[in-house]
Homo-oligomer: A and B are copies of this chain.
């Protein structure tokens, strides 16, 4: 008819993302996509192998957008001449919080998706996009004058990311909706504060992970 294959694919992805965002994973239905895109069910399976394929593609877009958000937050601070480590880390965390808030259904769906398909979905692509974020965090830490070797910086960056991620996801699974934002902000501020203080003290962090048997 009018649109070529790629264009229709983009439209399907846009529709799929809205569906995911509004109703979570359960809301991503082949028939709904087809109807809203003005194509038949079969055509959806012509463009993508699976509904999982559609979901994967949406997830890629989300990860890209998250990377852009993080880089933009850093660029913004750079433009304003802010180099304070705390402010930069808080800005990154804030960018993540805003990103999650802007994607209330599709981001949880991404997390649930990864949980459902353990390692079957080549994680290379996923991890590559996440590495971009780790790089940003690591570079902030590198500029903080903490005297960390590269390996420690790598662990520190990933630990920070995982922690913020945990705070946000635990926070949104918590009780009242009103207190969520407050609780998340406080925990993030606390985490960043403690983290910076801890790093400033220097010393080695290489302790074996083994715990009581």
Q: Show the binding face of A for B, using Cβ within 8 Å.
A: 24-26, 73, 76-77, 80, 82, 86-87, 90-91, 93-95, 108, 111-112, 114-116, 119, 123-124, 127, 152, 155-156, 158-159, 161-167, 169-171, 173-175, 177, 182-191, 193-201, 203, 205-212
Contact = CB atoms under 8 A, between A and B. Distances in A.
How many copies of this chain are found per oligomer? 2
A169 B169 contact: yes
Nearest to A77: B212
- Most B CB contacts (10 A, CB to CB) among A80, A82, A174 go to A174
Contacts of A187: 155, 158-159, 162
B119 A177 contact: yes
A129 to B, nearest CB: 13
A207 to B, nearest CB: 5
Given A87-B212, A159-B190, A169-B166, A108 B119 contact: no
A206 B194 CA distance: 11
29 contacts: A24-B116, A25-B116, A26-B116, A73-B212, A77-B212, A91-B212, A94-B211, A94-B212, A95-B211, A111-B173, A112-B112, A123-B175, A152-B190, A159-B190, A159-B194, A163-B163, A163-B166, A166-B166, A166-B169, A169-B169, A185-B209, A189-B205, A189-B207, A189-B208, A193-B198, A193-B205, A193-B207, A194-B205, A200-B201
